[in-house]
Structure 1
Amino acid sequence: MAKEKDFSCVGGLEKHIQILKETVLFPLMYGDVYAKFNLRPPRGLLFYGPPGTGKTLVAGALATECSSSERKVSFISRKGSDCLSKWVGESEKKLQQIFHSAYQSRPCIIFFDEVDGLAPIRSSHQDYVHASVVSTLLALMDGLDSNSEVIVIGSTNRLDAIDPALRRPGRFDKELYFPLPSYNARKEILAVHIESWKQKPSQKFLAYLAAKTVGFCGSDLQAICAEAVMCCVRRTYPQIYTSKSKYQINERSLKIEKQDFLKAQQNIVPASQRAAITPIKRLSRRIQPLLENTLTKIMFRLENLCPPDMLSSDVITGRAMSRSSNCPRLLLTGLDDSHTRYLGPAILHALEHLPCHVLDITTLFEVTGRAAEEAIIQRVKEARRSLPSLLYVPEILAWWNLVDEPARVVFTSLMSGLDSSVSMLVLTTATCTPSTLPNEIKSIYEYQGEVFEVKTPGPSERQGFFEQLYNQVNSGVCGASHKSSSSIIEILKPKRIKSRKTPCTIQSVHSTAEGKPDVIEIAPPKKLRPEAKSRKKINTVQSFHSTLPVKTGAIKREFNAGTEGSPSKRQKLIGSVDTDPRNKNEPKRLTDGQISELLRKTVGITRGWTTHQLETLFSALEGHSEKQDKDMFLAFNECLSIFQETEKLKARLKES
């Protein structure tokens, strides 16, 4: 028999459990204290949020806690569809019997799962039966006085489908939102699911897995753990799929390793991404040298604009209250579209604890026949239901001129109506200069601090961006940054590479091949010292990434070759340049002087280039580095000259 789950089996919902105890469990167990101070306990509580976030799980854990207390509390659980019947009057009779049973066995908790099926919105399009059931439920909840010791809890993932008459004090007094788990919550959920395992993954790997599962709900994480076990069974006992008889499986031989979790993650599609894809993504290792300083400045700006308790779900890290009379908002502008392609998703990743609602051209026209102003109103309403929240409007100019005048007026009116009491961050991007913004959009952002212009990468950013390429070429691992995950290699690599006897040359290759770690820890210039706290905030929600080793197979062969001399000689062989005449086909490595000259030339010709142009040049140089029949220094110079002439030709065409 399955073990009954209590609150100890629920991970990442400590605040919800605390609220649930204060509003539901304590009034039933300590009713005399509430009566002495004339405190009115709530009559109803409504759980809402995305599917798989633990609403039904918390209700079941509450039932277990109620039965284990000194004063027994009855618990009645019903699905919304269980109370419906095709016979006229039968549904109302079932509801009356449930409330009568609860009153007879009080103190009692009634839990209606999927209450939107039981009490939908009453309208002229529905038949008389549903309207009668909703009216009966309203009357029964009104009949519960404050001393009846009966509490009604409802659960739904469609808050807008519930009849508004239920959502008032006296019926469902409090609404509790269950969001997608944050980084720390995902770590706790994973720890709960592997608690009974004899051989558990390390805490370091759990932290890595939690950082890689942004957008996964609790059910998705449970499915990953179950799929990891099945991956281990497939790897250890592949013969059970071909055996016709039952195969004896030794449970002790089933060792669930990290590769099983990584393979299981690839097989699981998050429930939140099946309906809509939210553009949440951290800065990649390749693009970090270009945009990490800009991202740090944006996070520092958000600290001044947002309330103290919005940017972090655990501690108060804000510096000041919003200077505007409206809700916190920020507009990212600039001719470089990196704010929409990279910076916007990176900010969403840093603020993943906030429920994200996207308003773009896709959401405006995804439903045929629906007006654009209706879609705008619906999206803003959804964002206001889950406060504190984040409303992301990427590339607002892409749909601004497509919609008609009423839609633009509705959007500006809704944004102007959000005052400072609304804890909703409005993040908008626009590919233009601040001076060319439409006047309607300018009126939304009153203060200069609410408009942030993203400049093209400077010389130091461009130098760091291309330096990683040239160093990778010199290390013989060019192109590995996008073909394999460095963090996965670090977790799965042999322990022999981690030994203290590893030569210093390999450690230097690690640092140059990886570039910079996949967290924002590079110190900005001295003039940006006040932004250190914002960088620290990003580090708390970004995962750590290990450095990228040299080709693991080649290193392993070098260390395992027992006939090639002593270990010290083999180590020197790895760190030195191969001068064996048998390897004449391999390209020549770049010297330090050649790297410096290439960097100087690259930084010079890319002055004023956008991020997209720099990425194009990076890919072209990377393609030239894979040609084994050319000298690398000459190949890079040839590619840079071609791009320089191309850009000059484009400039002449624009002038003409």
Structure 2
Amino acid sequence: MAGIKDFSCVGGLEKHIRIVKEMVLFPLIYGDIYAKFNLRPPRGLLFYGPPGTGKTLVASALAVECSNSERKVSFISRKGSDCLSKWVGESEKKLQKIFQMAQQSRPCIIFFDEVDGLAPVRSSRQDFVHASIVSTLLALMDGLDNNSEIIVIGATNRLDAIDPALRRPGRFDRELYFPLPCFTARKDILLIHVKNWKQKPPQKFLAYLASITVGFCGSDLQALCTEAVMCCVRRNYPQIYTTKSKHHINERSLKVEKLDFIKAQQNIVPASHRVCIAPVKTLSTEIRPLLENILNHIMTNLYNICPTEMITSEDSVIKTSHSTNCPRILLCGIDDCHTRHIGPAILHTLEHLPCHILDVTTLFEETGRAAEESIIQKVKAARHTLPSLLYVPDILSWWDLVDEAARVIFTSLLRGLDQSVHILILITAKCDLENIPLEISVLFNKHQGEIQQIPVPNATERENYFYELFLKANFTSNNVSNKSCNGEIIESTPVKKIKMESKIRTKRNTASETLKKSRSASIASVNNGSNKREYKNACGEGPLIKRQRLVSSNGNSLKPLNSERLNEAQLQKILHRTILLTEGWPCHQLECLRTSLEWILDSQESDIYEPINKCLNNFEHGSSNYLNNELKLEQT
């Protein structure tokens, strides 16, 4: 993406571009309209957000658009550190010179990148030099007339480090937040970076790539495309790393395959993950039969609790909340699946909302910082990026660690968030509703669906969970990387946003019927060797066996063995015993049993019926001790 960049080279920021045009370009080009209606055009605009989200890119594209308009608009760009000098008074003179240049070349836009280095918060701990620079900048911005045709734009990723005097109408009239790109935005960014390639990746693969790059900013996606090209060069011309002379590379023979993008994605650590790793992920194919129904139920409930603009990133009719508080939901239960699986899946579904995490690590991350200060800072950050999401995983892990003051501050801050504040508060607690502290439970209204108690998986969900596993007993796996070289990658689609409540309920009601119909077809296909039958997985999401080919849960392709290790009678008997054994088991114990069974199924033994029964016997004897230990832990 080298060369001149205009707004067409900016992906996923259509709303931001529209706001920038309305506040910056239109007042300078159509100033007579503002004068006719006696309106004061804006003087300043502040860009803020995580690094690499396009703040400087939008400003650079704005400079190109200014030069392309019929009425030429000057553009002056400076880094915050460019105006600083070690000599007393020189920094103030540089600032005055910039504004004088803008006055001489009106209409003009002044862009200060990293403005927090130029105008930090004035305090007693700082020297008088920075205070003088901030005062000079305030005086220069106040000296701009209403019709001066000069607009100041600042960009920063540390909004709290800017002096509060700048953040008011008349100086920086509006603050524009640049979030991490959602799925649609990531797809648009990838399309822009590969649009000049002669052999572009398929649209379907780009959608898959956007779904697995959660947490990537625009700079990360650009680095991903660059790394994919380098992976392609390494794959086709490995000799360039061993020879000292320049090797001739035929650019036409270079074709970036899907495997190159996959390897590049593994080599890149996103900028947001280098500071803190957000627990954002979809339900895995293994755990989906257990938790998909409850996740759909929670998302349906969120659709009723939250305004429409918080559930979907698309423009739609705003639906107000009937509650007196801001949207909030509490997930509780003795099983911690809501913290390990359901909570991250909700964050992935609502990835267009800026996520702020308040857990035990963020509370005590900085040495010498009180827990009360961390709580206040997180809630303030969530209010600065509306609409947003405040995620508090496993609140009981730190509730008793902090003192009374921190608990009172947390509850009072949540009580102060009314329905006008569009913050979704998502809290998980590993205990029953009766054992939740009263200070937390009173914050949620059970009658409005703000409290969801997660039950243990029922018999149908456990049957769906283990049936697909036992069905793989007569198949062997091949590594997917062997197929990747031929350009065949198993692609998955991202989690779809909630559109209609009726669709979710219909899908949940028909899942069991689809399973019963598909099960008979799959067994007949395995036993009779038919190539025309298809099996639908437990979630009813499409064919799992097609032309006698399976895809295992870890992404490997499965081929049928020469001889059956489990016949239909043995499969049904083991499945029935497993369902009875796991009655009342939480998700993590079911996952342990599945892992042990996978060890047996992956072995090369011809007879696995007896090893499976032996494994079930071991878990049957150990389950009673496990449940007793869980009860003792809850009592303590």
**TM-score category (smaller protein):** 0.7 to 0.9
SS of the equivalent of 1:444 reads: coil
The change in CA–CA distance for 1:520 and 1:260 in structure 2 (over 3 A counts) is: same
Once the 2 structures are TM-superposed, how far is the Cα of residue 475 of structure 1 from its aligned partner?
2.2
Q: Which amino acid aligns with 1:596?
A: Q
Say whether residues 1:647 and 2:623 are aligned partners.
Answer: yes
Contact 1:364–1:375 (CA<8 Å) still a contact in 2?
yes
Contact 1:332–1:453 (CA<8 Å) still a contact in 2?
yes
Q: What do the CA deviations read for 1:329-387 (whole angstroms, capped 9, x no partner)? A: 00000001000010000000000000000000000001111111011001111111101
Once residues 295 and 255 of structure 1 are traced to their aligned partners in structure 2, the CA distance between those partners, rounded to angstroms, is 40
Q: What do the CA deviations read for 1:136-171 (whole angstroms, capped 9, x no partner)? A: 000000001110000000000000000000000000
Contact 1:356–1:392 (CA<8 Å) still a contact in 2?
yes
SS of the equivalent of 1:184 reads: helix
Say whether residues 1:578 and 2:554 are aligned partners.
Answer: no
Partner of 1:585: none
Match of 1:617 among 568, 580, 593: 593
What's the TM-score, normalizing by structure 1?
Answer: 0.85
Contact 1:289–1:465 (CA<8 Å) still a contact in 2?
yes
Contact 2:349–2:495 (CA<8 Å) still a contact in 1?
no
Q: Which amino acid aligns with 1:625?
A: L
The change in CA–CA distance for 1:68 and 1:654 in structure 2 (over 3 A counts) is: closer
Once residues 393 and 631 of structure 2 are traced to their aligned partners in structure 1, the CA distance between those partners, rounded to angstroms, is 31
SS of the equivalent of 1:86 reads: coil
Q: Which amino acid aligns with 1:384?
A: R
What's the TM-score, normalizing by structure 2?
Answer: 0.88
Partner of 2:439: 440
Once the 2 structures are TM-superposed, how far is the Cα of residue 590 of structure 1 from its aligned partner?
1.2
Once residues 653 and 284 of structure 1 are traced to their aligned partners in structure 2, the CA distance between those partners, rounded to angstroms, is 28
Once residues 348 and 315 of structure 1 are traced to their aligned partners in structure 2, the CA distance between those partners, rounded to angstroms, is 20
Partner of 1:570: none
Once the 2 structures are TM-superposed, how far is the Cα of residue 92 of structure 1 from its aligned partner?
0.4
Contact 1:40–1:146 (CA<8 Å) still a contact in 2?
yes
Once the 2 structures are TM-superposed, how far is the Cα of residue 641 of structure 1 from its aligned partner?
1.8
Partner of 2:418: 419
Once residues 389 and 650 of structure 1 are traced to their aligned partners in structure 2, the CA distance between those partners, rounded to angstroms, is 40
Q: How many residues end up aligned between the 2 structures? A: 591
Once the 2 structures are TM-superposed, how far is the Cα of residue 240 of structure 1 from its aligned partner?
1.3
SS of the equivalent of 1:40 reads: coil
Once residues 27 and 545 of structure 1 are traced to their aligned partners in structure 2, the CA distance between those partners, rounded to angstroms, is 54
Once residues 112 and 62 of structure 1 are traced to their aligned partners in structure 2, the CA distance between those partners, rounded to angstroms, is 13
Partner of 1:351: 350
Partner of 1:106: 106
Partner of 2:565: 589
Q: What do the CA deviations read for 1:398-436 (whole angstroms, capped 9, x no partner)? A: 000110000000000000000000010000000011111
Q: What are the within-5 Å matches in structure 2 for residues 22-171 of structure 1?
A: 22-171=22-171
SS of the equivalent of 1:598 reads: helix
Partner of 1:632: 608
Once the 2 structures are TM-superposed, how far is the Cα of residue 102 of structure 1 from its aligned partner?
0.2
Q: What do the CA deviations read for 1:83-117 (whole angstroms, capped 9, x no partner)? A: 01111110000100100110111000000000000
Contact 1:307–1:321 (CA<8 Å) still a contact in 2?
yes
Contact 2:80–2:118 (CA<8 Å) still a contact in 1?
yes
Q: Which amino acid aligns with 2:562?
A: D
Partner of 2:528: none
Once residues 548 and 431 of structure 1 are traced to their aligned partners in structure 2, the CA distance between those partners, rounded to angstroms, is 38
Say whether residues 1:396 and 2:395 are aligned partners.
Answer: yes
The change in CA–CA distance for 1:294 and 1:490 in structure 2 (over 3 A counts) is: farther
Contact 1:392–1:426 (CA<8 Å) still a contact in 2?
yes
Once the 2 structures are TM-superposed, how far is the Cα of residue 273 of structure 1 from its aligned partner?
0.4
Contact 1:300–1:531 (CA<8 Å) still a contact in 2?
no
Once residues 418 and 501 of structure 2 are traced to their aligned partners in structure 1, the CA distance between those partners, rounded to angstroms, is 36
Contact 2:113–2:154 (CA<8 Å) still a contact in 1?
yes
The change in CA–CA distance for 1:652 and 1:411 in structure 2 (over 3 A counts) is: closer
Once the 2 structures are TM-superposed, how far is the Cα of residue 39 of structure 1 from its aligned partner?
2.2
Q: What are the within-5 Å matches in structure 2 for residues 205-220 of structure 1?
A: 205-220=205-220
Once residues 144 and 503 of structure 2 are traced to their aligned partners in structure 1, the CA distance between those partners, rounded to angstroms, is 63
Unpaired segments of 5 or more residues in structure 2?
512-540, 552-557
Q: What do the CA deviations read for 1:529-566 (whole angstroms, capped 9, x no partner)? A: 27879x9xxxxxxxx999688599xxxxxxxxxxxxxx
Q: Which amino acid aligns with 2:614?
A: E
Once the 2 structures are TM-superposed, how far is the Cα of residue 633 of structure 1 from its aligned partner?
1.7
SS of the equivalent of 1:309 reads: helix
Q: Which amino acid aligns with 2:59?
A: A
The change in CA–CA distance for 1:7 and 1:359 in structure 2 (over 3 A counts) is: same
Contact 1:340–1:394 (CA<8 Å) still a contact in 2?
yes
Contact 1:77–1:113 (CA<8 Å) still a contact in 2?
yes
SS of the equivalent of 2:146 reads: coil
SS of the equivalent of 1:46 reads: strand
The change in CA–CA distance for 1:255 and 1:519 in structure 2 (over 3 A counts) is: same
Q: Which amino acid aligns with 1:258?
A: K
Once residues 19 and 332 of structure 2 are traced to their aligned partners in structure 1, the CA distance between those partners, rounded to angstroms, is 41
Contact 2:307–2:321 (CA<8 Å) still a contact in 1?
yes
Unpaired segments of 5 or more residues in structure 1?
499-509, 536-543, 553-573, 580-587
Once residues 98 and 77 of structure 2 are traced to their aligned partners in structure 1, the CA distance between those partners, rounded to angstroms, is 10
The change in CA–CA distance for 1:87 and 1:613 in structure 2 (over 3 A counts) is: same
Partner of 2:328: 329
The change in CA–CA distance for 1:329 and 1:655 in structure 2 (over 3 A counts) is: closer
Once residues 548 and 243 of structure 1 are traced to their aligned partners in structure 2, the CA distance between those partners, rounded to angstroms, is 48
Partner of 1:186: 186
Once residues 458 and 247 of structure 1 are traced to their aligned partners in structure 2, the CA distance between those partners, rounded to angstroms, is 63
SS of the equivalent of 1:12 reads: coil
SS of the equivalent of 1:286 reads: coil
Contact 1:284–1:518 (CA<8 Å) still a contact in 2?
no
Once residues 254 and 83 of structure 1 are traced to their aligned partners in structure 2, the CA distance between those partners, rounded to angstroms, is 45
Once residues 16 and 654 of structure 1 are traced to their aligned partners in structure 2, the CA distance between those partners, rounded to angstroms, is 51
Q: What are the within-5 Å matches in structure 2 for residues 370-409 of structure 1?
A: 370-409=369-408
SS of the equivalent of 2:297 reads: helix
The change in CA–CA distance for 1:315 and 1:599 in structure 2 (over 3 A counts) is: farther
The change in CA–CA distance for 1:457 and 1:60 in structure 2 (over 3 A counts) is: same
% identical equivalent positions: 62
SS of the equivalent of 1:199 reads: coil
The change in CA–CA distance for 1:489 and 1:296 in structure 2 (over 3 A counts) is: farther
Contact 1:333–1:429 (CA<8 Å) still a contact in 2?
yes
Partner of 2:429: 430
SS of the equivalent of 1:409 reads: helix
Once the 2 structures are TM-superposed, how far is the Cα of residue 317 of structure 1 from its aligned partner?
8.3
